């Protein structure tokens, strides 16, 4: 069996950024399960996995444009400190969820001074080349229900 649309695929992966630092890995956890062809994973990686078999390994570099996008300076903003009234501790590096007209996104605090807080709503991996090291652990046909839901069920997948 090879990887194509409507297959549920379990992968072990390690993700390194442009600098070669490990930013995410499934090692020591249940392999990640995803539904192929359903936009569960980033397009560049999905493309590279098409046609692979169990046990195959894939090493790919995904440019920012096919990964989490390039950094957008417009997503960096200065907000008055007073808008964080009631928050005890604010430090650079902290993240929080903010609602915007594009839905909820993760926002990072980059700078804090007496009156102003600088926030950055870029994805932490925006602008980074994503270096994936992937091993295909399992491939199976998706069930009708999984296809309808657009995600896999069971271990490493969606639980409900």
The site for Zn ion (CB under 5 A) is made up of: 149, 158
- Alpha carbon dihedral 50, 45, 23, 126, in 10-degree steps, equals -170
Q: Which is nearer to Zn ion, 81 or 149 (CB)?
A: 149
Per the DSSP assignment, residues forming a β-bridge with 77 are 119
CB of 153 to Zn ion, least distance (A): 6
Q: Which is nearer to Zn ion, 81 or 158 (CB)?
A: 158
CB of 151 to Zn ion, least distance (A): 6
Q: Which is nearer to Zn ion, 114 or 148 (CB)?
A: 148
DSSP 65-123: GGTT----GGGEEEEEGGGGTT-S---TT-EEEEEETTEEEEEEEEEE-SSEEEEE-S-
Distance CA(152)–CA(36), nearest Å, equals: 9
CB of 160 to Zn ion, least distance (A): 6
Q: Which is nearer to Zn ion, 9 or 134 (CB)?
A: 9
Q: Which is nearer to Zn ion, 108 or 149 (CB)?
A: 149
Radius of gyration of the chain (CA): 19
- The residue with its CB nearest to Zn ion is 149
Distance CA(120)–CA(4), nearest Å, equals: 37
CB of 8 to Zn ion, least distance (A): 12
CB of 157 to Zn ion, least distance (A): 8
* Three-state DSSP class for residue 46: helix
């Amino acid at each position: 069996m090879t990887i194509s649309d409507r297959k549920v695929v379990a992968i072990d992966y390690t993700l390194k950024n442009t600098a070669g630092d490990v930013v995410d890995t499934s090692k020591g956890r249940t392999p990640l399960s995803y539904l192929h062809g359903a936009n569960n994973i980033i397009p560049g990686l999905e493309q590279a996995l098409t046609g692979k078999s169990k046990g195959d390994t894939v090493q790919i570099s995904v440019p920012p444009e096919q990964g989490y996008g390039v950094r957008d300076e417009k997503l960096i903003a200065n907000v008055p400190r007073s808008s964080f009234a009631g928050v005890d501790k604010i430090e650079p590096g902290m993240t929080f969820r903010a609602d915007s007209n594009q839905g909820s996104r993760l926002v990072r605090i980059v700078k804090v001074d007496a009156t102003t807080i600088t926030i950055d709503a870029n994805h932490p991996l925006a602008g980074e080349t994503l270096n994936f090291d992937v091993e295909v652990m399992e491939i199976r046909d998706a069930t009708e229900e999984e296809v309808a839901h657009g995600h896999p069920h069971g271990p490493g997948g969606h639980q409900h």
